[in-house]
Amino acid sequence: MEQRLRLYKILVEEIATCTRCRLHESRKNPVPGEGPVPSRIMIVGEAPGRREDEAGRPFVGQAGKLLDKLLSLAGLTRREVYITNVVKCRPPGNRDPRQDEIAACSPYLQRQVQLVEPEIIMAVGRIAGATLYRMAGLRWRGIRAERGRLVHGAIAGRRVGIYPTFHPAAALYNREVLPMLEEDFRRLGEILRGGRGKSLLDFL
The whole model's pTM is what? Answer: 0.94
Which of the four pLDDT bands, split at 50, 70 and 90, describes residue 194? confident
Q: What share of the chain is helix, strand, coil (3-state, %, to 5)?
A: 50, 15, 35
Residue 203 placed within a domain: no
Contact predicate 151/167, CB 8 Å: no
pLDDT at residue number 193: 87
- Least confident range from 44-53, 81-90, 165-174, 188-197: namely 188-197
For the chain, percent of residues with pLDDT exceeding 70? 95
With contact defined as beta carbons under 8 Å apart, do 61 and 50 qualify?
yes
Residue 74 phi/psi, 5° resolution?
A: -90, 0
- pLDDT tens-digit map of 9-62: 999 999 999 999 999 999 999 999 999 999 999 999 999 999 999 999 999 999
- Residue 118 CA to residue 115 CA, distance in Å, equals 9
Closest C-alpha among 93, 84, 80, 100 to residue 15:
84
pLDDT of 196: 54
Instruction: Kindly list the distances between the CA atom of residue 43 and the CA atoms of 20, 31, 87, in Å, as whole numbers in the listed order.
Output: 23, 14, 13
* 152 three-state secondary structure: strand
Q: Examine the pLDDT at 82 and tell me if it is beyond 50.
A: yes
CATH code at 63?
3.40.470.10
Q: Which residue range forms the structural domain that includes residue 13?
A: 2-196
CB 15 within 8 A of CB 88: yes
3-state DSSP assignment of residue 172: helix
Cβ pair 197, 85 in contact under 8 A: no
Domain annotation covers residue 94: yes
How far apart are alpha carbons 21 and 109 in whole angstroms?
15
Is 186 a residue whose pLDDT tops 70?
Answer: yes
Report if residue 201 sits inside a domain.
no
pLDDT at 197: 47
Count of structural domains within the chain: 1
Q: Does the structure show a pLDDT above 50 at 199?
A: no
pLDDT of residue 198: 47
Residue 120 has pLDDT above 80, yes or no: yes
Q: Given this model, what pLDDT does residue 203 score?
A: 46
If you average pLDDT over residues 82-100, what whole number do you get?
Answer: 97
- d(C-alpha 38, C-alpha 41), whole Å: 9
Q: Which positions ≥6 away from 58 have C-beta within 8 Å? A: 31, 33, 34, 45, 48, 52, 64, 83, 84, 85
Residue 202: inside a domain: no
